[in-house]
Amino acid sequence: MDMGFGEGITVVSGIPRSGTSMMMQMLGAGGMPLLVDGARPADEDNPEGYFEFEPVARLALDSSWLKLARGRAVKVISQFLLGLPVSGAYSYDVVFMSRNVDQVMASQRRMMQRRGTYRPELLDERTPSRFAAHCELVIGWLNDHPCFNWVAIDYGEALLDPMSVAVRVNRLLGGGLDVAAMVRVPTANLSHHREDDR
C-alpha cells in the first residue's frame, strides 16, 4: 500500500532489548508500512510482538530482499546493521534506539533465563564497555556514509516524553506520520516497562 513515504528504507536499529520493537510499533501506529513476517510470535518478553523480518539475520550474505523494504520500516538490530549495502543503490532513514545499559542487561538476562539459555559469562562486568564500543562503531559507520540519515532515540525518553520522540522521528521521515497515534504506543508500554525493571 502506498502511504506516500517514498522509495527510501526506514531502519529501526539498536542492541537487543533497547526498544526497537516498541519503535516499530510506534511507526506502524503512525501509518508507516512495516516489513515484518510474524515468524517470531509475541511472548512474555515482548507482549506486543517482535516486528521482525527473518531474512535480516542473513543480511551480510543476501541483501536482495531490501527491494521489498522500499517505502517501509524494517527492524535491523545493530549486530546486522553493518551488512546494509552503502553503494548508493539504497538510502536509509535510521532510528537508532538506546537504553540504560543496566536495564538492557537486566532485560537480556531475564529473557535468557526464561528460555534456559542464560550463562553468567554472557553478561558480566565487561558487558557495558562492549556495548559502548559496539554502539560507537555503528554510529561512526552511520556518520561515514551519506546514504544514512539518522536520529538517536532513548527508550526511557520515549516512555516519559513520547510526544517529543514522535515529533523527532516524524521530522526525520518527512512529516507524514500520525504523531498522536504514535504517542499512544509508549504510554501503553509503560506497565510492561515497570515490570521489566523489577
Please report, in tens digits, the pLDDT of each residue of the chain (198 residues total): 334 455 799 999 999 889 999 999 999 999 999 999 987 888 777 778 889 999 999 999 999 999 999 999 999 999 999 999 998 789 999 999 999 888 887 878 787 777 777 676 666 677 778 888 999 999 999 999 999 999 999 999 999 999 999 999 999 999 999 999 999 998 766 555 544 543
Give the Cα-Cα-Cα angle 63, 64, 70 (nearest 5 degrees): 95
- What pLDDT, on the 0 to 100 scale, is given for residue 126? 75
> How would you label 55-67 residue by residue, b for 16+ Cβ within 10 Å and e otherwise?
bbeebeeebeebe
pLDDT at 88: 79
The pLDDT of residue 73: 98
Q: Which of 40, 34, 160 is nearest to 95 (CA)?
A: 34
The residues pairing with 11 across neighbouring beta strands, listed in sequence order, are: 74, 94
Query: What's the sign of the alpha-carbon dihedral 29, 81, 50, 3?
Result: positive
| Residue 5: per-residue pLDDT | 56
pTM for this structure?
A: 0.87
Domains of the chain (ranges; CATH) run: 9-196 (3.40.50)
